[in-house]
Every structure is written in structure tokens, then in C-alpha cells.
Amino acid sequence: MIIYRFISWLVFVISVPFLFLKFKGRERKERFGKTKHRFEKCVWIHAASVGEVNAVKTLINELLNKYNHTDFLLSTMTKTGQETAKSVSPKLTTVFLPFDVGFIMKRLFKSINPTLIILVETEFWPNMLRIAKKRKIPVVIVNGRISDRSFPKYKNLRIFWKPVWKAVNAVNAQSEKDAQKFKTLKFNDVVNAHNLKFCIDQPRYDKNKLRKELGYSKTDFVLVWGSSRPKEEKLLLKILPELKKTIPKLKVIIVPRHLHRNPELKELLKNHDYKLYSELKDVPEILLVNEMGILNTFYALADLAIVGGSFFNYGGHNPLEPAFYGTPMIIGNYYTSCRDSVDRLLENNGIIVSNKDILNDDILKLYGEMTKTKQMGMNAKHTLENNADSLKMHLERLEKYIK
């Protein structure tokens, strides 16, 4: 630990000129441990980036509602994580995590006076944890996970990490496999509390009513490509003629991830029967959605969802959104940003992983076996329901530490 403290300080000193150039304004101040926020006491939650923030959104909102006289602060490592954190709740204070250098971390501790630190998934910052232990501040890991890749490294370096881990009072692991890893590494009070990512809450819809309102018939086969990214729309248009030969009442809905691409997509679709969602009167062959925040509406009415950002190297988008509605789905083979969710869905036969070369065949196979396809959608929904107790377990385990 002494070696880490010295090295972190030395690297920081050498890097100061670069850090001043890299970070500006509020972010620079907070990276250096300075914040305008002052608390007599607070609960400090740390989540690295977007995925971790999204995983604990529901938990944070429950904590905010249950302990409405307690201040909660959420720190993140990345700018995108910070943007997502700000959208969680107006009651939540957000900051960038300071550099893990002793005197810098102490600045933040002094300003916010945490009485509990909640770490999301796998966030071990030695100086942060050393200060917490010295000040007798309990630390709890929620939705804890250790990847197969990281586990041997932690295990081989236990001599270094063991004093750090001793600062952690409890671990709520996201699976039995992760719980066993934490136990092997000798963490305190480890339980399998299941995965909070599966505790999502979205608007409920009546599928038939929704389809009728938008002009889709019960006999239409509605294919929704959600959060599409560049080149994916071209892939869809390439296989569309073959799909139409087998699926006579095929209707396609494209919901791009970013609205600024609409001019590009309108040019791409100009020779097809398409309409913009904002101008919808009669149902076209292809509907291009040009509004934000309504993807779930289309996942709810779909017969089949394609989860975008996954057929080319974008990392994939959230497959749990269509799973919430029991909608059968396909995701491409690039899904690193949602690997845990996809793996769990695969275990329960709730998703198909495809690629750009076999997507056409996979869609037609699902269309030709609709009984099995609908069951796949229900399997995905049951995957969420089987983890529904995670939120309750996390709250119960945190309760004794929140004063």
C-alpha cells in the first residue's frame, strides 16, 4: 500500500501539466478533489461509467425515496457516465471521481463527509478505500462482479490487494459465480444478491391496442431495428428483398441511435416506401422514427426486435428493453458493452446471437417457427422476473449501513 501511495503521487506530479490541459472547468476542479458541494454527512455512490450507472438507477431511486432526508452523491469516471448520472434524479448530486492520490481524495472526503460508500460492480481505488478504513466509513459493493479475465490477476496479487479489500464490509454479488470469486479472494460478508441490471421498470403497454393506434394490423409481421448504427440500415435494406419473399406482410421500423443521422437515412431510404414517424398517417413498408425516447413503444409492439449497434463494432445496446416486453430478439456478434445481459439471456434461451452474414437466415427461421419464437420472448421476460428479488435483497443489505 505504501508503494502504491508513493507511485500514485509520483505519477500525478509528473502528469500535472498534461492533466491541466486535458481537463477544463468544473471537471478539472473535481478531478483535483475540489467540489462546491458540502454535506454534514452523505451516502457516496461510485459507478465508473454509463453501464454501471444504468445498472443501479433503480436502486438509487429507491434509496432516494426511502431515505429522503439523506444526501446522496454519485461519482463517475467518464463524461458519458456523468451525463447519465445527471439524468437519474434531480435529488441526486453528481461529481467526477477525483484522482486516486491521497491528498486529493482527502479533499473530497472532507467536503462531503460520507457515512457510507457504495461501490458499483468492481471499483477498487486503494487510496479511497484506505481513507475510508482509517475513518471507519463502511464500504459496500453492489452488483459486484469480477470478470474471468481479471480474477487470476487479483488472485496472483492478493498480497497487494488484501489490505485494500479489508476496507470492504460487504459484497452483494450479481451471480453465484461472482460470489464464489469474491469468497475465494477472502472478501467479507459475500452473498449472491442477483443482478440489478435486470430490475428495470419501463412503461407498460397493451400490444394490440398500441398496434391499432399506430395503424398496424394483427397480421402484420413487425420487425423493429432498435438503436441502429451506421452500416446497419444498409445491411437491413440488403436483405429486405429476400425477407419480403417469405414474409408478405412484413413491416419494418427503424429507430436510429442518433437523430442527427436522419438526413443520411432519408437519403438512404429515398427509393423505398418509407415515412417519418412524425408524419405517420398510413403505415408504410418502412417507418423511420425521428423522435427520441420512444424506442420502448416500438419494442412493445414488435413481433421481432433487432438490437442494434451489434452487427458492426459498436459494442451493442441494451437487450433487456425488448426482454421486458417478452419480445423475441436477435443481437449481432458485437455485444461487449452488454455481455453480461446477453450471456444470461443465452443461458435461458431468450435471445439469438447472429451476424451480418446469417441475419437473413435467422430472421426467416424465427418467422417460420413462431411458436418457438414467442417462447423465446417469454424466456427473455422470465430472465428479468427471475432476478426481480435483486432490488429487495440489495436494499435489505444496505439498510443497516444507512443511518
| Grid cell listed for 279 | 408524419
Structural domain includes residue 100: yes
CA distance 199 to 201: 7
- What is the number of domains present in the chain? 2
CA distance 161 to 263: 52
| Residue 158 CB neighbours (<10 A) | 12
CA distance 288 to 291: 9
Same domain, 361 and 282: yes
| Grid cell listed for 218 | 394483427
Same domain, 179 and 192: yes
Q: Convert 86-114 to b/e letters by CB count within 10 Å (16 or more is b).
A: eebbeebbbbbbbbbbbebbbbbbebbbb
Find the helix or strand (DSSP H, E) in which 388 lies. none
The pLDDT score that the predictor gives to residue 148 is 84
Residues 6+ apart with CB under 8 A from 384: 198, 199, 200, 320, 323, 324
Domain CATH for 186: 3.40.50.11720
Same domain, 217 and 168: no
The pLDDT score that the predictor gives to residue 126 is 94
The pLDDT score that the predictor gives to residue 158 is 86
The answer to whether 52 touches 77, Cβ cutoff 8 Å, is no
DSSP string, 249-268: TEEEEEEES-GGGHHHHHHH
Same domain, 95 and 153: yes
Please classify residue 367 by burial: count the beta carbons closer than 10 Å to its beta carbon, then call 0-12 exposed, 13-18 middle and 19+ buried: middle
Apex CA 154: angle with CA 149 and CA 158, to 5°?
160
Please classify residue 141 by burial: count the beta carbons closer than 10 Å to its beta carbon, then call 0-12 exposed, 13-18 middle and 19+ buried: buried
Domain CATH for 348: 3.40.50.2000
Same domain, 142 and 256: no
User: Is the pTM here over 0.95, yes or no?
Assistant: no
DSSP string, 327-384: --EEE-S--GGGHHHHHHHHHTT--EE--TTTHHHHHHHHHHTHHHHHHHHHHHHHHH
The pLDDT score that the predictor gives to residue 284 is 96
C-alpha separations of 49 from 96, 159, 333 in Å: 10, 28, 22
| Grid cell listed for 83 | 451525463
Same domain, 258 and 382: yes
Question: Residue 107's domain spans which residues?
Answer: 27-199+388-399
Which of helix, strand or coil describes residue 199?
A: coil
Same domain, 176 and 231: no
Which of helix, strand or coil describes residue 194?
A: coil
Same domain, 43 and 164: yes
CA distance 380 to 374: 10
Structural domain includes residue 283: yes
Specify which residues 73 forms β-bridges with: 44, 93
Structural domain includes residue 285: yes
Same domain, 190 and 285: no
Structural domain includes residue 258: yes
Q: Which of 18, 28, 46 is nearest to 104 (CA)?
A: 28
Same domain, 172 and 305: no
Q: Which amino acid is at 50?
A: V
The runs of H, that is alpha helices, within 144-229 are 150-156, 158-165, 176-184, 207-214
The HSE-up count of residue 36 (CA atoms within 13 Å, CB side) is 6
Structural domain includes residue 67: yes
> What is the chain's pLDDT, residue by residue, as a tens digit (403 residues)?
677 888 888 888 899 989 889 999 999 999 999 999 999 999 999 999 887 898 899 999 999 999 999 999 999 999 989 998 999 999 999 999 999 999 999 999 999 999 999 999 988 899 999 999 999 999 999 999 998 889 999 999 888 888 889 999 999 999 898 999 999 999 999 999 998 988 887 899 999 999 999 999 999 999 999 999 999 999 999 999 999 999 999 999 999 999 999 999 999 999 999 999 999 989 999 999 999 889 999 999 999 999 999 999 999 998 999 999 999 999 999 998 788 789 989 999 999 999 999 999 999 999 999 999 999 999 999 999 887 789 999 999 999 999 6
Same domain, 152 and 239: no
CA distance 139 to 189: 11
The pLDDT score that the predictor gives to residue 129 is 96
Structural domain includes residue 246: yes
The C-alpha torsion from 82 through 84 and 334 to 203, rounded to 10°, is 170
Structural domain includes residue 18: no
Structural domain includes residue 19: no
Q: Which residue has the cell 430472465?
A: 383
The answer to whether 140 touches 397, Cβ cutoff 8 Å, is yes
The pLDDT score that the predictor gives to residue 1 is 66
Same domain, 79 and 214: no
The pLDDT score that the predictor gives to residue 197 is 85
The pLDDT score that the predictor gives to residue 291 is 92
| Grid cell listed for 340 | 453480461
Q: Which amino acid is at 366?
A: L
